Structure 1
Amino acid sequence: MKKNILAVAIAGAMAAPLAANAGAPTLYGQMNVAIDSVSDNGSAFVNRNSRLGVKGSEDLGNGLKAVYQLETTLTLQGDNSANGWGGLRNTFVGVSGGFGTVVAGRHDTPLRMIQPTDRFNDSFYLGNNTGRFGGLNLGGGVNFSGEDRLDNMVAYISPNMNGFQVVFGGITTAAEDRENRQSLGNAYSAAVQYGSKRDGLYAAVGVTQRTSDLYAKDENIDQQNIRATVQYADSGLVVSAMYNQVNTKSFDDTNGKTDLGNHNNIVVGAAYTMGDFTPRAKIAFVSYDDITQNGNKDKNKDATNYALGLDYALGKRTRTFVEYGVLDKNSLTGVRVGDKSTDVFTVGLAHSF
């Protein structure tokens, strides 16, 4: 579960959390570990987005509040060379008032934030956030899935207007080797949503537009992601559907024409809590264009990915789980032409605080 002020604002419940967080900062986090057994890649102990964060707000008077959050990944596997600390997650500072909320820092794009509730989200292979399950992470230096968490973002979140909210984020260059600094409009992401993911009907549409100026000098790519989502939650049942489309622009260089194509998917999911048990499932139908790289065309076949899972609640904030999924044409770095399917079996334990 994403516990950050901007995410709460996007969910349409901004005022109450801000009031509750006034004064002393709130410490929160998640410890989530598992063993993944992957076909042709053996078994491994894995860290599943374990994190630690501090968030809060302070009354500035005149109807204004300062809001802030610092969130970092915790490393619970490997040789602990990072002393347990990983990379920054959503980290920002901002001001909130009757006009809405403005924040600046590192954060998920509005398009990423409107994805439906995903009980597989912390899985490297089966979560929507990695782009692997949806099949639009084609590997290489560009995240085709649109699941972006970017630095140098300034975002505006409107007040709730009869159930509707508008979110807009402008992003400047993320590439350090650009000769010239870029404007805030080199990339943008925007979304419009209605309702709440927590209860009842939720629907949203979003777009992210990225230009070559967002990348390093040798990555001459324009990319547009479009998303539409719908979800219904009631009495322990959550059902959802999400449509994603990525459009890219072809270009010519000294090695010939490169056209990374236009691709799309539909992801349908469901989960139902019955006492201490929560069975869950989702399926992705992926449609690919052919890809031309350096003048050579590779033909792509469509893919179907699916995942099954079961949670058992050991307590209010502690659960154990098992998962099984099949990814069509997948590799460790993303989908590749000619790759065979990957089977993933996972057993794990998670505690949030």
Structure 2
Amino acid sequence: MNKKLIALALAALPAAAMADVTIYGTIKAGIEDNKTYSSSLGLDGNKSPRSGVQVNDWTSSIGFKGSEDVGNGLKAIWQVESRLHMDGTNGNKNAASSDGLGTRDTFVGLAGDSWGKVRLGRLSDYANSDMEQVDPGSYSDESVGGLGMFTRLDGRHNNAIRYDSANWGGFSMAVLWALDENRTTVAGTRTNNQFSNIGLSYENSGYFGKYNYGSWGDSNLVGGNKDWHRFEGGYNANNIYLALGYQQVRGYGFSPFYNGTVGTAVNNAVVNNLVNNGTFATTAQAQAAVNSLLMKTKELALTGGYTFGSFTPYLSYVKGYDVSLNGTNINKSGYDQFVLSLDYALSKRTDVYTSYGHVNWKADGAASESTFGLGLIHRF
């Protein structure tokens, strides 16, 4: 269509129909040299990750949002936000992107200056929306160029309702409840694996402290995560960036483990040991027993940075401790990770970003992982 006709059509729309709509987003992509268990490059004959160069999206998105004053200090609010893949894929390197509308935070709700806001839709848990200070970097799902393992549970939930309070002298809170509308029947019992989440925050003069708690119902029946604690605190002002995080996750079987591929290998070693020492006669019996045991993971993360001019270097370190299975530690089941990164601000909205990340697994036979990335970030 002729550009002049488009301009005339837009000009003809009522001003009120467009005034409350904001278009926003972030475009992020880079080239990465990955040797990771999560990479689509796969594993070699020794079950170690292959290395290779990839062009990857770094979690780009586009959104539309707006509000309407409905009187008495009350506003109707809405948002539709969608995931984009700048590399033309949807997490599958062999297929074209099939990103849909509203795949990120998408909601309708009400807001008031004195009491906060309440929203319905697909919504982030508190850790995903208000935390992650220990992980300021940009990277793909296939890399270890950021703290993706530490933030692995952060996400969005369908069929959710969330309340966010107003700010009370630096204190605030949020509560989320996500319904389980796909309930299944296990051993004659109808499950209800709903998710409940609460977040607490205090921020003042650059200092911050945040706490996240998440809980899944009926996790003992469906074999998933049971509960989740995360604390982050630090200081972000006067060009100084410092963040400390601690996380504990409990769940049944190996569901809370740090990495799925490595977790499977550790799980198999535990199951084989139970069969070899005569505890169970078959692998199936041993696996069923492991799936009913409560696993706990604990992680500690620290990130520091300093801004001088247009440059901000960051250094992050994460310690994943040996996991416990029904109260007994599994030796060599933890990990160490460090990430060194540099952000260079070309302008207020455009950055060049580079990072190097390395993960050392303690498990016998597990290979180390590494990522080098260089990319461009633009916000609009």
Q: TM-score, normalised by structure 1?
A: 0.77
Q: Is the 8 A contact 1:288 1:302 kept in 2?
A: yes
Matched, 1:67 2:77: yes
**Amino acid of the structure 2 residue aligned with 1:281:** L
Deviation at 1:350, TM superposition (A): 1.1
Query: How far 1:119 sits from its partner (Å)?
Result: 2.2
**Are 2:237 and 1:234 aligned?**
yes
1:65-118 deviations in Å (ceiling 9; x for gaps): 011111111122146733675871111111012322101111211233342433
Corresponding position of 2:297: 263
How do 1:11-160 and structure 2 match up within 5 A? Answer: 23-39=19-35, 40-78=50-88, 81-82=96-97, 88-97=103-112, 98-117=114-133, 118-124=135-141, 125-128=144-147, 130=148, 132=149, 134=150, 145-160=152-167
Equivalent runs, 1:272-283 vs 2, <5 Å? 272-283=306-317
Supply the distance in 2 between the matched residues of 1:34 and 1:110 (Cα, whole angstroms). Answer: 28
Overall identity of the aligned pairs, in %? 25
1:246 pairs with 2:273? no
Aligned equivalents of 2:185 and 2:164: distance in 1?
30
C-alpha distance 171-181 of structure 1, shift in aligned 2 (>3 A):
farther
Out of 197, 205, 208, the position equivalent to 1:189 is: 197
Q: What is the CA–CA distance in structure 2 between the aligned matches of 1:83 and 1:247, rounded to whole Å?
A: 34
Change (3 A) 1:110 1:307: same
Instruction: Verify the 8 A CA contact 1:116 1:241 in the aligned structure 2.
Output: no
Q: Please give the per-residue CA displacement for 1:227-268, whole angstroms capped at 9, x wherever unaligned.
A: 1110211122211101100122469x9653123511111110
- Structure-2 separation of matches of 1:158 and 1:181: 34
**How many angstroms apart in 2 are the aligned matches of 1:85 and 1:152?**
17
CA distance in 1, matches of 2:366, 2:126: 32
Match of 1:352 in 2: 379
Equivalent residue letter for 2:351: R
C-alpha change, 1:149 and 1:174, in structure 2 (3 Å) is farther
Unaligned runs of 5+ in 2: 1-17, 36-49, 90-94, 255-283
| C-alpha distance after superposition, 1:98-148 (max 9, x if no partner) | 3221011112112333424332144433334x3x2x2x8xxxxxxxx4313
> Does the 8 Å CA contact 1:241/1:269 hold for their aligned counterparts?
yes
CA shift, 1:176, in A, is: 6.9
Contact 1:110 1:190 in 2 (8 A): yes
Please give the per-residue CA displacement for 1:167-217, whole angstroms capped at 9, x wherever unaligned: 11011116476699876x822000111016xx611101120001246x9x8
Structure 2 partner of 1:13? none
The SS at the match of 2:358 is strand
- Partner amino acid for 1:238? Y
Distance 1:114 1:84 in 2: 25
1:347 counterpart letter in structure 2: L
Contact 2:118/2:163 (<8 A) preserved: yes
Task: Indicate conservation of the 8 Å contact 1:173/1:181, yes or no.
Answer: no
Q: Is the 8 A contact 2:322 2:330 kept in 1?
A: no
Structure 1 pair 177–42 and aligned structure 2 pair: CA distance change class (3 A): farther
User: What amino acid is aligned across from residue 322 of structure 1 in structure 2?
Assistant: T
Look up the match of 1:10: none
What is the CA distance between 1:302 and its match in structure 2?
2.7
Residues 84 and 101 from structure 1, CA distance in 2 versus in 1: closer, same or farther, beyond 3 angstroms?
A: closer
- What count of residue pairs does the alignment treat as equivalent? 304
**Which of 1 and 2 has greater Rg?**
2
Q: State how far apart, in whole Å, the 1-side matches of 2:251 and 2:361 are.
A: 21
Matched-pair contact (CA < 8 Å) for 1:244–1:264: yes
Q: CA RMSD in A?
A: 3.0
Could you tell me how far apart the structure 1 residues matched to 2:127 and 2:347 are? 33
The AA in structure 2 aligned to 1:194 is: Y
Q: Is the 8 A contact 2:123 2:161 kept in 1?
A: no
The structure that is strand-richer by fraction is 1
User: Is 2:344 aligned against 1:343?
Assistant: no
Q: Secondary structure at the match of 2:308?
A: coil
Query: Deviation of residue 348 (structure 1)?
Result: 0.7
The equivalent residue for 2:359 is 327
Q: CA deviation at 1:329?
A: 2.7
CA distance, structure 1, for counterparts of residue 211 and residue 242 of structure 2: 17
